[in-house]
């Protein structure tokens, strides 16, 4: 009897050792392999061309020096127009947002058709390639346009003071609302143009900063 129990005990031990050996051999095969796939950083979103602001060039499909006829074929007839002496300020309204276009006719020149000279927008959907749009702060604007020059200031319909800053060489100006220095409107104009005189139709009551 003792001999039989001894044999059974030995067989049991051998069986356990065999299972342990099989488990040890199987374990490496069941471990997950390390993930060697490189983490891919998603590319920045491509700005929608319909709402892209290119300083000194265009806002959306409206370009500097585009004819008035071409402009209205894109935007339709304006909701408001103020015209005199070959100059016109036209507005297209969408609730609290607008597109304002300033055109000039060169009477006596080779082409007397009205041409786009300034475009202004106040909707945050419009942005520059570096993501500057209304709602940004003056500090954020300066990070992209460090050569800003204060041009003038005026009071809006709520009697809040608004400062106009111009990046003359790039052809873009910013209206910044105090006291928080929040961008409320963006205007593009021909690069290198001194905006002090031609900005007047947008805010005839503005005070220039000499």
Asked if residue 176 is part of any domain, the answer here is yes
Classify residue 125: in a domain, yes or no.
yes
Residue 11 lies inside a defined structural domain of this protein: no
Confidence tier at 117 by pLDDT (50, 70, 90): very high
The DSSP letter of residue 137 is B
pLDDT tops 90 at residue 4: no
Which residues have a Cβ under 8 Å from the Cβ of 60 and sit 6 or more positions away? 49, 50, 51, 52, 126
Residue 17 belongs to a domain: no
- Give a yes or no: residue 88 inside a domain: yes
Say if 39 falls within a structural domain. no
* CATH code of 192's domain: 2.60.460
Would the pTM of this model clear 0.85, i.e. be above it? no
Structural domain boundaries, residue 124: 49-208
**Structural domain tally of the chain?**
1
Please indicate, yes or no, if residue 191 is contained in any of the structural domains.
yes
Query: Tens digits of per-residue pLDDT, 40-53?
Result: 555 546 568 899 99
- Is there a domain that residue 203 lies in? yes
Average pLDDT, the chain: 83
């Amino acid at each position: 009897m003792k001999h039989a129990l001894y044999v059974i005990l030995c067989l049991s031990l051998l069986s356990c050792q065999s299972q342990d050996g099989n488990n040890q051999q199987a374990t490496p095969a069941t471990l997950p392999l390390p993930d060697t796939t490189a983490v891919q950083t998603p590319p920045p979103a491509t700005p929608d061309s319909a709402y892209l602001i290119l300083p000194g060039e265009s806002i959306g499909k409206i370009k500097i020096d585009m004819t008035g006829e071409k402009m209205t074929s894109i935007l339709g007839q304006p909701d408001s127009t103020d015209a005199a002496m070959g100059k016109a300020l036209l507005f297209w309204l969408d609730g609290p947002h607008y597109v304002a276009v300033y055109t000039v006719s060169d009477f006596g020149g080779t082409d007397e058709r009205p041409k786009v000279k300034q475009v202004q927008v106040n909707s945050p959907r419009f942005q520059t390639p570096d993501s500057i749009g209304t709602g940004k702060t003056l500090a954020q604007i300066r990070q992209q346009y460090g050569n800003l020059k204060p041009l003038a200031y005026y009071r809006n319909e709520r009697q809040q003071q608004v400062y106009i800053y111009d990046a003359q060489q790039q052809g873009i100006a910013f209206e910044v609302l105090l006291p928080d220095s929040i961008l409320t409107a963006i205007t593009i104009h021909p690069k290198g143009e001194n905006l002090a005189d031609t900005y007047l139709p947008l805010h005839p009551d503005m005070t220039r900063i000499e």
